[in-house]
Amino acid sequence: MPETTNIRELAEKLEITVKNQDFLQQAMTHRSYLNENRNYRLDHNERLEFLGDAVLELVVTRYLYDNFTNPEGEMTAWRAALVNGEMLARVAREIGVEPYLMMSKGESKDTGRARNYLLANSIEAIIGAIYLDQSYDAAADFIARVILIHMDEVLEKKLYLDSKSYFQEKAQEHMSITPHYDVIEEKGPDHDRHFIVAVYLDKEKIGVGDGPSKQDAQRAAAQDALEQKEWL
């Protein structure tokens, strides 16, 4: 399928109007793609990512400033929960960006942490592309539609808190017990390990989580435990 057709399809999926398709195509171009395509006429997406990161932070900051009167520290934590790599990778999958990424054959085989990092960066690059191709307002509209819609979830599930620390605090408060974590399963090759972790209070298994690292799996298990115990 021609690259330009791909980009038109992506623009429709993102619900954006594109004036210069090169910006969006560059946003989808990972550095590794250039290594295997020496005659490719565009640059990779890292400069757009740099720009989009700044636009994203400003838009989210202005949204929080306009809609909340909470102290700076609280809003800083909320902003971090909205723009961190985990959230942006999730957003990329929700809006269907992954099939349009242009990367090397080797990079395309990686489905672990490296892929999540690439997906998160692609969202920032898309924001940078929209900003250059259209306007700040168009970029802000896109951010509102795909990222700021998660604000209620961030507050409801307290995603701005470190789930492990919060669960430990609640476990000690309610039961005077310190949680402990055990890896119950590992799978995948060395370069793409996947861990499943359970969290216990004494001998009782309270929650289970999975992730590309033990730390990520522990955080997911703690979040599950908080929901199971209704300590949110």
Judge whether 91 and 172 are in contact, CB under 8 Å. Answer: no
Residue of 49, 107, 124, 224 marked active site: 124
DSSP 56-119: HHHHHHHHHHHH----HHHHHHHHHHHHSHHHHHHHHHHTT-GGG-B--HHHHT--SHHHHHHH
- What is the residue whose two structure tokens read 């005077």? 176
φ, ψ (nearest 5 deg) of residue 208: -135, 140
Q: Which two tokens stand for residue 183?
A: 């890896």
List all residues 6 or more positions away from 45 whose beta carbon is below 8 Å from its beta carbon.
Answer: 26, 27, 28, 29, 30, 31, 121, 122, 125
Residue of 53, 107, 133, 224 marked active site: 53
- Per the annotation, the verdict on 192 as an active-site residue is no
- What is the residue whose two structure tokens read 């909470």? 70
DSSP, collapsed to helix, strand or coil, labels residue 211 as strand
- What is the residue whose two structure tokens read 């908080």? 226
- Per the annotation, the verdict on 169 as an active-site residue is no
Taking residue 13's Cβ as centre, other Cβ atoms within 10 Å add up to 13
Which residues have a catalytic role annotated? 53, 124
